[in-house]
Chain A
Amino acid sequence: MRSHPLFLVYGVAILALTGFAQYRGFTFSRVNQLNNVPKSIRDNPGAYRSHYGFYPRYIGGK
Chain B
Amino acid sequence: MSSTAVSPPVVKAKALYCPQCGGPVELRGFAHTLSVVCPQCGSVLDTSGPLVHILQKAQEQQRIEPGIPLGTRGKLDGGEFEVIGFQIRTITVDGVPYSWAEYLLFNPYRGFAYLSEYQGHWNFIRVLPLLPSQSGKLVRVEGRGYMLFQRAVATTTYVLGEFPWKAKVGDTAEVNDYVSPPLVVSAEKTDQEVVWSRGDYRTGAEIWKAFNLPGRPPAAIGVYENQPSPYGGELGSLWRTYIWLMVALAALMFWFTVSAGYKAAFQDHYVFSPGAKIEPSFVTPVFDLNGHTSAVRVDIHTDLDNSWAYFNLALINNTDGHAYDFGKEVSYYHGVEDGESWSEGSKKASATVPAVPAGRYYLRIEPELNEKQTSDMSYDVEVHRGVPSYGLFVLAGLLLLIPPIIGTIRRASFEAARWRESDYGGSGA
Contacts and interface: CB of A to CB of B under 8 A. Distances in A.
Given A27-B392, A61-B308, A32 B326 contact: yes
Interface stretch (B24-32, B89-97, B204-212, B240-248): B240-248
A27 B391 contact: yes
B351 interface: yes
A42 B283 contact: yes
Contacts of A58: 308, 329, 331, 345
A61 to B, nearest CB: 4
A22 B392 contact: yes
Given A48-B364, A61-B306, A26 B321 contact: no
Given A31-B353, A34-B323, A62-B333, A7 B281 contact: no
B269 interface: no
A37 B233 CA distance: 60
A14 B396 contact: yes
B354 A27 contact: yes
Contacts, number: 174
A11 B245 CA distance: 6
Contacts of A14: 245, 396, 399-400
Interface string A18-55: 11011111111111111111110110011010111001
Given A46-B279, A46-B281, A7 B242 contact: yes
Interface string B264-295: 00000000000000010111000000001111
Nearest to B335: A62
Interface residues of A, number: 49
Contact of A4 (B237, B353, B370): B237
Contact of B294 (A3, A24, A41): A24
B356 A50 contact: no
Contacts of B308: 58-61
Given A58-B331, A62-B344, A25 B356 contact: yes
Interface in B332-361: 333, 335, 337, 342, 344-345, 351-356
Nearest to B278: A46
A26 to B, nearest CB: 5
B314 A29 contact: no
B187 interface: no
Contacts of B393: 18, 22
A39 to B, nearest CB: 7
Contacts of A2: 237, 240
Interface of B: 234, 237-238, 240-242, 244-245, 248-249, 252, 256, 279, 281-283, 292-296, 306-308, 310, 312, 314, 316, 318, 320-327, 329, 331, 333, 335, 337, 342, 344-345, 351-356, 362, 364, 366, 370, 386, 388-389, 391-393, 395-396, 399-400, 403-404
Closest 5 CB pairs of A and B: A25-B295, A25-B294, A11-B245, A61-B333, A27-B389
28 contacts: A2-B237, A2-B240, A3-B237, A15-B249, A15-B252, A18-B396, A19-B252, A24-B292, A25-B354, A25-B389, A27-B352, A28-B391, A29-B326, A31-B324, A31-B353, A32-B324, A34-B323, A35-B320, A37-B322, A37-B323, A38-B321, A39-B321, A45-B364, A48-B314, A56-B329, A57-B327, A61-B333, A62-B337
